[in-house]
Amino acid sequence: MEIVTLIKRCASLLDRAVEPLVEGAPLTLQELDFLVPLRYEEEPVIARRLAEDLGLTQAAVSKALAKLERRRLIERAPNPADRRASLVTITEEGKRLMDSLFPRRLTVEAEMFHALGGARAEVLEALERLAEVMGDHVEKTAGDRRR
């Protein structure tokens, strides 16, 4: 239980630290998180991959992408290789918004984690291990439910 409590506390503190950056901006922190991988990809991204990368359900990703599309921050197109999948690209307006907000977010995060000093590598290693264990568990239990 203490692991879950700490994860939630860290997530909340991170949100509180970066939330002021999006006050008055035309998007939320979660929507900004959707634009990040799109901004740095050369090719369109399959929506399903966004769901996997962000750890969200396809339904949640579809809903968020619809909002971003209505605001003309992304564009979706059918995938010629798979009609069930859509290809997502960021628009020029989405790039402009990303380029104004994301560097400031990185600065806030760098300032916050600077105090870790030499322990940064250990913390990253522990978090990567935690994410791996949790991901393995989710995959296993999802497989068990399908049987």
Is the separation of the CB atoms in 94 and 108 below 8 Å?
no
* Strands 74-79 and 45-46, bridge-based pairing: unpaired
Question: Which residue segment(s) compose the domain that 32 sits in?
Answer: 2-146
Q: Considering its fold, how many domains does the chain have in total? A: 1
- Token pair 């630290």 is found at 17
Mean pLDDT of the chain: 90
pTM of the model: 0.78
Which CATH number characterizes residue 102's domain? 1.10.10.10
Tell me the per-residue pLDDT of 74-113, one tens digit each, with 9 for 90 and over: 999 998 888 888 899 999 999 999 999 999 999 999 999 9
Tell me the per-residue pLDDT of 30-59, one tens digit each, with 9 for 90 and over: 889 889 999 988 899 998 889 888 888 889
Is the separation of the CB atoms in 74 and 92 below 8 Å?
no
Quick one: pLDDT band at residue 141, thresholds 50, 70, 90?
confident
